[in-house]
A and B are shown apart, each in its own frame.
Chain A
Amino acid sequence: MLKILKYSIYDLLRSRWSYVYFIFYLLIGFVLLFLNNDINKAVITLMNIIIVLTPLIGTIFGVMYYYNSKEFTELLLAQPIKRNKIFMGQYIGISLSLTLSLVLGLGIPFVLYGLFRSTAIFDFSLLILVGSFLNFIFVALAYNIALSTENKIKGFGYAILMWLFLAVIYDGLFMISLMLFNEYPLDNFSLIATMFNPIDLSRILILLKLDISALLGYTGAVFKDFFGTNKGFFLSFLVLCLWIIIPLFRMSRKLRKKDF
């Protein structure tokens, strides 16, 4: 597995896409900090970018890589290597290289602008951590979709739809249900509904760490009571882990039965 992982990382590092991705983040980081020199404020703006773009890029990258390297994967499958190992190697390879681009791309400008001397270091690390989680989650989801669909176009379509659902439509449904059931106590409902969407969960996790959380009012207080404690914090990271583990589990089951 390590060999395959190494191979996919080298492969990705050679392809220009991970550089494009890296430079994209680097540019965003520098432009943000150039426009407002305040690291604290830049972290807030960055949150919007990470929460929307990281999943999107992870999804597209995952699907693209699967379909692109399909022929080579089939060649590998002919060798006496376990299927699981081949795909796990590829999966970790993509996720790691994406995470590397994210961490370096955003890390370099922020460190240059004096991150270590700023109070925002904790918020920033949380942001990067959450971003990395989102990378792993969405690549896993994308791989699942790609494995289940032979047709390239369909695969892309489903992947984008999945991103659209989690990033936008889910929140719409969430909002509508909150408005419809206005008369009922909705604190626990909103807590649970947040858990079921990794993007929402990440957003809330970061929001609560920023002082903008005072705007959230009563529900915010309920959320803070939950996520603010160590227990809640670990639980939410556990949920994020589950968001990685469950798709991977499904992937390995799918692999066993799949006829290549």
Chain B
Amino acid sequence: MEKYSINVIPNNSESSRKRMTSLPIRQTVNLISIFILLFSISLQAQTKTIEVCSSCKVKTIKEGVTLAKNGDTILVKKGIYKETQIFINKTIHLIGEDYPIIDAENKTDSVFAIKADNFSISGFKFKNIGISYTKEIAAVFVSHSNNFTIKDNILEDVFYGFIIQRSKYGVIQNNKIIGQAKSEASSGNGVHVWKCEKLRIEQNTISGMRDGIYLEFVNNSFVSNNTSKGNIRYGLHFMFSNNNEYHHNEFKNNGAGVAVMFSKFIKMHHNTFHYNWGTASYGLLLKEINDAEIHDNVFEQNTTGINIDGCNRINYKNNHFIRNGWALKFTGGCYTNIFEFNNFMHNAFDLSYNSRLNDNKFEANYWSEYTGYDIDKNGIGDVPFRPVKLFSYIVNKTPETLVLLRSLFVEIINFSEKVSPIFTPDNLMDVKPLMKPINPLD
């Protein structure tokens, strides 16, 4: 069945533009808005909906796409569609009804390859995208596109979920991506974004991929409310991406946690990093990050809460580090970082620091290992706290000594170093340690 509607208002943009030039500005604006309104109504009115199903006139999605014109909607009914290589270069809206299944039958081709503006894809279930060692194959492959929406899709056993290249103003929302990644070489990323700007990636659930979300050369974008778990490499991976913000995400059980590398001006807040546990795992790996804001995150039970490598001018505030192996691990030169009002609770090591020079500020944090007192009862401990233990200093020099973890000898040397610091940096201390945790979690 096809629905055609009638073009009600003729499109006379030429004559209106001529008139506009002679009018005052306010009227011009009014006219333009009316014009845009009318134009958009006329556009909508022009479009048609093409239905695709096994008993319809149009039986395959590919056929539907060929028939469609700019602005048309393709409504795909429930069923199984064994199709790949559907090329789209026009503004169309693909809507799946009751999650029609697109089965790629492990062919090494992407299902949708899109190069168009203002398109949208929603409500599909993609299955069995083939694995290739030479090509990037995704359920949806988008390039050179603006203003697109990809939402409410389910992807199962995919090589790459979505690949987005050289695009702007896209929304990737509420998708569910489930992979079966076995090794890094033979698997792809859930959402793979390259050279894009101003995207919104939100409310997606991604598991079992290589990287949950991968962003390279992506600027001014938002990643929020996603759940990324059980991926074999990183839950979220930033490379060379500046001015981004990610918040309210959950990263759980990933091979190595979350990696943010070579990026500037990134805001990370209200995220949960937990159970990234393994010999080479991190909650969050920061490599060459400058001028970032990290606040209100929870790091729980990671081998290393945050691994900080060559990062400068980062403000850490209101974060919770709970039961990690190392809460913070500094490697490489890190300068002018500020740690304020964080909770460090029951970590095997609160801090591992690699040099004797300290240019970072630790102030007013809560340390569960703090044993000082507070005579004037102002909530601030009267004795400074030194978060670097001698053993963590030794382990930094000779990692093999870690086999002595929890030996009585280690406790003794830690204690003696605490009493009179010799090896650990003199000025690396919290001079105002808090007596009570900030905003205690349940």
Give the B-binding residues of A (Cβ under 8 A).
47-48, 51-52, 167-169, 171-172, 174-175, 178-179, 182, 186-187, 190, 194, 200, 203-204, 207, 211-212, 214-221, 223
Contact = CB atoms under 8 A, between A and B. Distances in A.
Contacts of B53: none
B325 A214 contact: yes
A220 B277 CA distance: 14
Interface of B: 277-279, 281, 303, 325-326, 348, 394, 397-410, 412-413
16 contacts: A47-B406, A48-B406, A167-B408, A168-B408, A168-B409, A178-B401, A190-B403, A212-B325, A214-B281, A214-B325, A215-B402, A216-B405, A218-B279, A218-B399, A219-B400, A219-B402
B398 A179 contact: yes
B277 A211 contact: yes
A194 B401 CA distance: 12
Given A48-B406, A174-B404, A215-B325, 4 more contacts: A167-B409, A168-B412, A179-B397, A214-B278
Contacts of B413: 172
Of B277, B279, B394, which is in contact with the most chain A CB atoms at under 10 Å from its CB?
B279
Contacts of A175: 394, 401, 404, 409
Contacts of B410: 171
A11 B281 CA distance: 54
B303 A215 contact: yes
A220 B399 CA distance: 10
B399 A207 contact: no
A215 B329 CA distance: 12
Contacts of B403: 190, 194, 204, 216, 219-220, 223
Nearest to A170: B409
Given A211-B277, A212-B325, A220 B404 contact: no
A178 B279 contact: no
The 8 closest A-B pairs by CB, nearest first: A171-B409, A215-B325, A171-B407, A168-B409, A219-B400, A179-B398, A186-B400, A178-B400
Of A178, A187, A203, A223, which is in contact with the most chain B CB atoms at under 10 Å from its CB?
A178
Given A179-B394, A212-B325, A217 B399 contact: yes
Contacts of B303: 214-215
Contacts of A178: 398, 400-401
Of B281, B399, B406, which is in contact with the most chain A CB atoms at under 10 Å from its CB?
B406
A212 B281 contact: no
A200 B408 CA distance: 10
Contacts of A200: 407
A125 B326 CA distance: 28
Given A204-B403, A220-B403, A182 B348 contact: no
A211 B401 CA distance: 18
A184 B134 CA distance: 41
Contacts of A215: 303, 325-326, 348, 402, 405
B357 to A, nearest CB: 21
Given A168-B412, A179-B397, A211-B277, A217 B402 contact: yes
Contacts of B412: 168
B279 A212 contact: no
Contacts of B409: 167-169, 171-172, 175
A43 to B, nearest CB: 13
Contacts of B348: 212, 215
A178 B407 CA distance: 15
Contacts of B394: 175, 179
Nearest to A191: B403
A219 B399 contact: yes
A186 B412 CA distance: 24
A218 B303 CA distance: 13
A200 to B, nearest CB: 7
